[in-house]
Amino acid sequence: MFELLGIPPQALFGQLLLGLINGSFYAMLSLGLAIIFGLLNIINFTHGAQYMLGAFVAWMLLNYLGIGYWWALLLVPIIVGATGIIIERLLISRLYHLDHLYGLLLTFGLALILQGLLRNEYGISGLPYGIPAELAGGTNLGFMFLPNYRGWVVIASLAVCLGTWFVIEKTRLGAYLRAATENPTLVGAFGINVPLMITLTYGFGVALAGFAGVLAAPIYSVNPNMGADLIIVVFAVVVIGGMGSILGSVITGFGLGLVEGLTRVFYPEGSAVVIFVIMAIVLMIKPAGLFGRTV
């Protein structure tokens, strides 16, 4: 086999695939964060915990009710999204007239509570969740071996991100959302129910996190800290892409996953920090983020 810069291709493509998988989760989670921030002006610190909740609910559905992966993929976003709607109605909606900081503190506190409750109940060693039979095994692509489930995660994530982008940028509902992000008062004065839109948008963003959690369950072990580990990186992704930019967060998510994978090949010691280094550079050169709108 050929070698590239002294790196065996198996290792290179293996790391790129891993980067693409990580990027899939970065993209889905930062997309949800960007939508929520755009309309609600709330930095949803609970996002990682809601992703973790998605994985846990999938595990519970399987182990307590015997409901498998494919149904979980449909039911978990609905269940987790519904908890989001309850949180928005009961708690977050009381903070809109206050400084952003209060929303951040509230959602951070909620994340700690959620993680603490599940840690108490299930420990931190992680619970196994099997790959669905239909996606077991792998495919030999010639240049590398692709586990089928990982290929599916990338495809599902791309589809969800593009679908969300399409709805927001190309449909009437999306036009309402963009308009309400700019000027909610005027949109309300046109007869549109903005508070309902805000609630549903939060529910949708949280449902995306829940969906990502189900996708993650067979890859990473289901444990209460899985979201906390990921969310810090996702916040860096959102900062790099630009707060509130939909396409920006998707492209940045996948792009940074790949950058991380490449770093792991060529300079493994830097792979844990490369995203934060990029974040610092972007903040210095373009504080609004790569795709952020400077108003």
Partner 1 sequence: MHDAALAAKPAAQSAAAPLLAVRDLNAWYGESHALHGVTFDVKPGEVVTLLGRNGAGKTTTLKAIMGILGKRTGSVTFEGKETIKLPARTIARAGIAYCPEERGIFSSLSVEENLMLPPQVKAGGMTVERIFELFPNLKERLNSQGTKLSGGEQQMLAIGRILRTGAKTLLLDEPTEGLAPVIIQQIGKTIARLKQEGFTIVLVEQNFRFAATVADRHFVVEQGKVVDQILNDELDANIEKLHAYLGV
CB of 188 to partner 1, least distance (A): 5
Q: Give the nearer residue to partner 1 in terms of CB position, either 194 or 208.
A: 194
List binders of partner 1 among 117-176 (CB under 8 A).
172, 175-176
Nearer to partner 1, 178 or 286 (CB): 178
Could you tell me if 132 and 218 are in contact, meaning their C-beta atoms sit under 8 angstroms apart?
A: yes
Q: How far is the CB of 93 from partner 1 (least distance, A)?
A: 14
Site residues (CB under 8 A) for partner 1, limited to 255-294? 293
Q: Least distance in Å: CB of 186 to partner 1? A: 4
Site for partner 1 in 174-203 (CB under 8 A): 175-176, 178-179, 181-183, 185-194
For partner 1, give the closer residue by CB, 158 or 192: 192
- Residues in binding contact with partner 1, number by CB under 8 A: 19
Q: Closest distance between partner 1 and the C-beta of residue 194, in Å?
A: 7
Residues between 79 and 108 that touch partner 1 (CB under 8 A):
none
- Comparing CB distances to partner 1, the nearer of 176 and 276 is 176
Nearer to partner 1, 133 or 295 (CB): 295
Instruction: Give min distance, CB of 178 to partner 1, in A.
Output: 4
Cβ nearer to partner 1, comparing 112 with 189: 189
What is the spatial distance between Cα 175 and Cα 181, in angstroms, rounded to a whole number? 10
Q: Which residues of the chain form contacts with partner 1 (CB under 8 A)? A: 172, 175-176, 178-179, 181-183, 185-194, 293
